[in-house]
Amino acid sequence: MESSFLTAVFLPLALCIIMLGMGLGLTLQDFQRIWLEPKAVILGLVAQLIMLPVVGFLLASIFPLSPEIAVGVMILAACPGGPTSNMVTYLVRGNVALSITLTAISSLITIVTIPLVVNLAMGQFMGEAVTLQLSFLTTVVRIAVITLIPVTLGMVLHHYAPTFTARVEHWVKWLSLFLLALIIVGLLAKERANVASFFVQVGWVTLTLNVLTMALGFAIATLTKLDRPSAKSITVEVGIQNGTLAIAIASAPAFLNNPTMAIPAAIYALIMYPTSAAFAWIIRNLKSLPTTANN
């Protein structure tokens, strides 16, 4: 697969399919859950949209990273939770409804926040002279096209063809994982001469970002006395990012067109599932967390 085809055609198409899969599992009620579980939703969004970028910035500043890799870390930290976080939440017996709500709302909000965070990161790590910038309005529109439209289409199918949706949703989500794997393989193959050095340079910062943000998300849920299933949901949500969107923003010609910036997201995608599963297994077996909501 040629790299140009990978980034210009296959990557946006794969992202649309992934977001369509997310939309197949959404209803309008998922966006209204903030009124039903305001405490859990607000805490989850704070962890996802504020804590994660702040931690990402601190780590990108502390670790000895090249400017492009540092920006790549911030692109990843600015992205919303990944659609497969809902599947992982289900597997660890978390609050699936809360997980779906957090994924849906954060995906809407980050359409606006991603260009802001990424442009600030490029100014910070690449210097004032950098000419590479994301046009705010253009970027918002492009992200909306490849995320919001497929999600909306999925929701429409869910509403008007529930039987068909129930039949294909599971397969679309597994297809999403397969497409993400193909994208990662394609990127790493393109950069195969530098893969070992990228793992050495990026592996530790992405692992730290993943584990630290999950630990902080869990700590926030514990200290605010959320129930155990909700704590699991928030932990998983901050531990599984939309790596496909991060890779698209970094490497697609419509955005930054810089495959090096996509490396942190590619490495992170290899790390996030086993670490999220391990962390969720640990908190699942903790006995000290309350088992009923205390909002």
pLDDT confidence of residue 292: 47
Structure confidence by residue, pLDDT tens digits, 187-216: 777 767 776 777 788 889 999 999 999 999
Both tokens of 290, joined, read 């309350």
pLDDT confidence of residue 293: 46
Contact in structure between 167 and 38 (CB atoms under 8 Å): no
Contact in structure between 218 and 235 (CB atoms under 8 Å): yes
Distance CA 249, CA 260 (A): 12
Which domains, and CATH codes, for the chain?
3-284 (1.20.1530.20)
What rounded mean pLDDT belongs to the chain?
83
Residue scoring higher pLDDT (14 or 223)? 223
The kind and range of the H/E element at 151 are helix 149-160
Q: What pLDDT band is residue 88 in, cutting at 50, 70 and 90? A: confident
pLDDT confidence of residue 291: 47
- Does 70 score more than 80 pLDDT? yes
Question: Stretch 244-272: mean pLDDT, rounded?
Answer: 87
Percent of the chain with pLDDT over 70: 88
pLDDT confidence of residue 254: 81
The helix/strand/coil state of 164 is helix
pTM for this model (two decimals): 0.84
Structure confidence by residue, pLDDT tens digits, 220-245: 998 999 998 898 899 989 988 888 89
